[in-house]
């Protein structure tokens, strides 16, 4: 059977670096509060008018370069913040990359989006529909966060990460193991943008029924914390069971970069030493669907992730959705 | 027959001591959680640690940082008991 193998990786951050002190200047918060509650020190915000497709294309171009190619048979984009509600942003990403004509579509699973997108791409490869797929997680999350909501505004950041998946052998480094996925629609209110969809039109279009704040992202942090830890550790255990690895065999745990305390709690649940966590959120915050490929690209570039390392990816996000997979890290060119 | 054992006060105190660096002498039943600087996420972290140690699911909706160590102990015990 054909496997989907990671053949290239790349990432991109927009130019607007924002420190905790910068945020403390404009709202009631502090560097110490943000660091102890989240582990985040800096994040990047897109300048006004920079769409998600731009971030995605920058990361995608670097992943293609790392894979030593300019071609892909399809583009799959995981995002919570598409350029527009309609159409999807992936066709525009493909156009920006000179790939006009290939199948291109968005995947919406919030912070689990990248794992869902990998699943879609791996399926295209397994079925023979594609030899090589560009999979991108990209977010301009600052565009949906209320800039004065101090619980969300300090957590989220913008950015993009991408991998090239190619057809290969299940035994080779970089081959994705079984991707374990799940969802629970009864938890939709935990992580949500309430208005702007078919259920509740945009507040300006529907005065009197929608609260203007409904256009912004909202999150019930404490409940998310517990569900995230429970689901990420459960799905990581399932993904490990498919590979036959025990938690002690894992060299690097790359969890969705939501909150440092969530990552530590997941490591504790799995009996994996916290030193084996890949931590990137201190630099970029929570970048939702972009967080796992951004963390992978950074760990790869800095040598924190070396060829042969046994890696587990795990995520939890809005939906609720969750997932995990395991792979042996391949030898890749840095983009 | 169930092998479930409710989390003892000492078990809870050990978690507060080892995970959150609270001095053992400061952990008394009437200690206010806010006085040992346990924030709302810390309560979830305590519950998750106990969940793993006891092998039961502990719902945390009722946990809040307004009470005492004894309140936390009772809440976790009740939650763990219901989850049996």
Predicted confidence (pLDDT) at residue A169 exceeds the cutoff of 90: yes
pTM of the prediction?
0.94
Considering the domain boundaries, does residue B4 fall inside one? no
A99-123 residue pLDDT tens: 999 999 999 999 999 999 999 999 9
- Residue B49 domain flag: yes
- CATH code assigned at B31: 1.10.1200.10
Going from the C-alpha of A302 to that of each of A269, A296, A299, A305, B1, the distances in angstroms are 27, 10, 5, 8, 53
In this structure, of A151-160, A165-174, A181-190, B52-61, the range with the lowest mean pLDDT score is B52-61
A265 touches chain B (CB under 8 A): yes
**pLDDT tens readout for residues A276-303:** 999 999 999 999 999 999 999 999 999 9
Is A202 an interface residue toward B (CB < 8 Å)?
Answer: no
**What ipTM goes with this model?**
0.82
Chain B residue with minimal CA distance to A226? Answer: B44
| A201-251 pLDDT, tens digit each | 877 777 777 777 889 999 998 899 999 999 999 999 999 999 999 999 999
The rounded distance, in Å, linking the Cα atoms of A80 and A112 is 10
* Partners of A6 in beta bridges: A165
A152: tokens are: 């969300």
Identify the pLDDT of residue B6.
66
Helix, strand or coil, per DSSP, at residue A48: coil
B2 is a domain residue: no
Q: Would you call A189 an interface residue with chain B, using a CB distance cutoff of 8 Å?
A: no
The H or E element containing residue B11 is helix B9-20
Query: CA-nearest residue of chain A to B51?
Result: A269
Please give the mean pLDDT across all residues of chain A: 95
Higher pLDDT, A179 or B51: A179
Size of interface A-B (CB pairs under 8 A): 27
Check pLDDT > 50 for residue A185: yes
Which residues of A carry out catalysis?
111, 256, 286
Q: Is the pLDDT of residue A98 over 60?
A: yes
Report the residue from A37, A221, A268 with minimal CB separation from B49: A268
Helix axes B9-20, B69-82, angle to 10 degrees: 110
- For A160, the 3-state DSSP assignment is strand
Helix (H), strand (E) at residue A239: helix A221-243
Tokens found for residue A255: 């969890």
Determine the Cα–Cα distance for residues A331 and B2; give it in Å rounded to an integer. Answer: 50
B48 within domain boundaries: yes
Of residues A50, A41, A60, A13, the one with CA closest to residue A143: A50
Query: How far apart are the C-alpha atoms of A332 and A88, rounded to whole Å?
Result: 30
The answer to whether A222 contacts B52, with C-beta atoms less than 8 Å apart, is no
Give the C-alpha separation, A157 to A42, whole Å: 9
SS3 content of chain B, % helix, strand, coil (to 5): 55, 0, 40
Strand partners, A8: A164
DSSP single-letter state for residue A110: G
Does residue B3 belong to any structural domain of this protein?
A: no
- Band of pLDDT at residue B20, cut at 50, 70 and 90: confident
Q: What is the mean pLDDT of residues B23-40?
A: 86
Distance CA A59, CA A77 (A): 11
Q: Which of residues 211-240 of A touch B (CB under 8 A)?
A: 221-223, 225-226, 229-230
Three-state DSSP at A315 gives: strand
Q: Other CB atoms closer than 10 Å to residue A260's CB: what's the count? A: 19
User: Are residues B84 and B4 in contact, defined by beta-carbon separation less than 8 angstroms?
Assistant: yes
Token code pair at residue B66: 């307004």
Quote the DSSP letter at residue A4. E
Q: How far apart are alpha carbons A55 and A29 in whole angstroms? A: 29
**Count of structural domains within chain B:** 1
Q: What is the H or E stretch that residue A261 is in?
A: helix A260-270
Quote the domain boundaries for residue B35.
Answer: 9-82
DSSP 3-state of A119: helix
Residue of chain B whose alpha carbon sits nearest to that of A271 = B52
Closest CA to A150 of A34, A307, A17: A34
Phi/psi of residue A277, each to 5°? Answer: -75, 135
Question: Which of the four pLDDT bands, split at 50, 70 and 90, describes residue B55?
Answer: confident
Largest CA distance in chain B: 40
pLDDT of residue B1: 43
Q: Which domains does chain A have, with CATH numbers?
A: 3-168 (3.40.47.10), 180-186+218-328 (3.40.47.10)
- Quick one: pLDDT band at residue A144, thresholds 50, 70, 90? very high
Confidence band, pLDDT 50/70/90 cuts, at residue B4: low
pLDDT given at position A137: 98
Residue A61 CA, distance from chain mean position: 17
Give the model's pLDDT for residue B82. Answer: 66
Residue B62 lies in a domain: yes
**Interface test mutation site (partner B, options A40, A221, A223, A225, max chain B beta carbons within 10 A):** A225
Q: Are strands A159-168 and A132-139 parallel, antiparallel or unpaired?
A: antiparallel
């Amino acid at each position: 059977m054909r496997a989907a193998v990671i053949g290239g990786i790349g990432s991109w951050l927009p130019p607007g670096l924002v420190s905790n002190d910068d945020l403390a200047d404009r709202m009631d918060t502090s560097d110490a509060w943000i660091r102890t509650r989240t582990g985040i020190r800096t994040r990047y915000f897109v300048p006004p008018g920079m769409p998600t497709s731009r971030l995605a294309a920058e990361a995608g171009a670097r992943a293609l370069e790392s894979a030593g190619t300019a071609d892909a048979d399809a583009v799959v984009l995981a995002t919570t913040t598409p350029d527009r509600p309609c159409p999807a942003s992936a066709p525009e990403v493909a156009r920006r990359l000179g790939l006009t004509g290939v199948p291109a579509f968005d995947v919406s699973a919030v912070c689990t989006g990248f794992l869902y997108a990998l699943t879609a791409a791996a399926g295209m490869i397994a079925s023979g529909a594609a030899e090589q797929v560009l999979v991108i997680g990209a977010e301009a999350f600052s565009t949906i966060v209320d800039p004065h909501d101090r619980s969300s505004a300090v957590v989220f950041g913008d950015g993009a990460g991408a991998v090239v998946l190619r057809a290969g052998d299940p035994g080779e480094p970089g081959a994705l193991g079984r991707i374990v996925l799940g969802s629970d629609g009864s938890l939709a209110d935990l992580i949500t943008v309430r208005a702007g969809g078919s259920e509740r039109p945009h507040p300006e279009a529907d005065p009197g029924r929608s609260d203007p704040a409904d256009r912004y992202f909202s999150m019930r942090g404490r409940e998310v914390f517990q569900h995230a830890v429970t689901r990420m550790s459960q799905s990581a255990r399932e993904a490990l069971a498919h590979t036959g690895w025990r938690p002690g065999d894992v060299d690097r745990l790359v969890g969705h970069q939501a909150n440092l305390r969530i990552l530590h709690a997941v490591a504790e649940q799995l009996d994996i030493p916290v030193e084996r966590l890949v931590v990137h959120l201190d630099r970029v915050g929570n970048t939702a669907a972009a967080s796992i490929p951004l963390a992978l690209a950074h760990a790869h570039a800095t040598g924190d992730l070396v060829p042969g390392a046994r890696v587990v990816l795990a995520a939890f996000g809005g939906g609720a959705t969750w997932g995990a997979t395991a792979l042996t890290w391949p030898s890749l060119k840095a983009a | 027959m169930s092998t479930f054992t409710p989390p003892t006060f000492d078990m809870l105190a050990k978690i507060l001591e080892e995970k959150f660096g609270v001095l053992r002498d400061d952990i008394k039943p009437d200690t206010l959680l806010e006085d040992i600087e346990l924030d709302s996420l810390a309560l979830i972290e305590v519950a998750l640690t106990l969940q793993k140690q006891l092998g039961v699911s502990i719902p945390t909706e009722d946990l809040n940082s307004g009470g005492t160590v004894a309140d936390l102990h009772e809440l976790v015990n009740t939650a763990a008991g219901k989850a049996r």
